[in-house]
Structure 1
Amino acid sequence: MPRHGRIDIAGQLYHVIARGNERKALFIKKDDCEDFILRFKTNLERTGNKCLAWCLIPNHFHLLILRGKKPLAELMRRLMTGYAVSFNIRHRHVYSKAEMTQP
């Protein structure tokens, strides 16, 4: 049975929780937290959403967001994709174990 879409209403308050894959750390160093917060702030401005509270814990985070003019999914997609790419580059998870095939 397919999953139903999330309810996404302008002006509604949402508690967003996300955690690392296999409960691994999302925030290893202070730089990780600073990068996440900067990306979050930038994407809040782009989407017209407002953050009322946030909490970063090493392996997950909580956000209390007042939904603005653009869908919450757009904010979270931009935030999480951008942060994942920068985290993987910083911690050498991208292409570090790429296999090479030679004839």
Structure 2
Amino acid sequence: MAKKSLIQREYKRQKLEEKYRLIRRSLKNQIKVSSLSTQKTREIQRKLQSPPRNSAPIRLHRRCLVTGRPRANYRDFGLSGHILRKMVHACLLPGATKSSW
């Protein structure tokens, strides 16, 4: 089980990312669409760096829904490997078949 503080930190990052998503998207579109001078693009890039670091989507991690573990997550199920294996053996995941692993 992951520490509660780490899970809460991840939750805070998700909230910040949602808050600044539109601002980041509009600034990136301004850089892509317009053929501005280099000085103007640098100015837009500075604005893009002004939001908090934790609002960047690259800083988000997928975590296991049951344990909160940040590693070895399967995107299809949202679970870490050992929890996925336990649930498949217990026939709790529809469509997943037991293999010899």
Q: Same fold (TM over 0.5)?
A: no
Q: Of the two structures, which has the highest relative contact order with CA contacts closer than 8 Å and spacing of 6 or more?
A: 1
Q: TM-score, normalised by structure 1?
A: 0.23
**Larger helix share, 1 or 2:** 2
Q: TM-score, normalised by structure 2?
A: 0.23
**Larger strand share, 1 or 2:** 1
Based on CA coordinates, which of the two structures has the bigger radius of gyration?
2
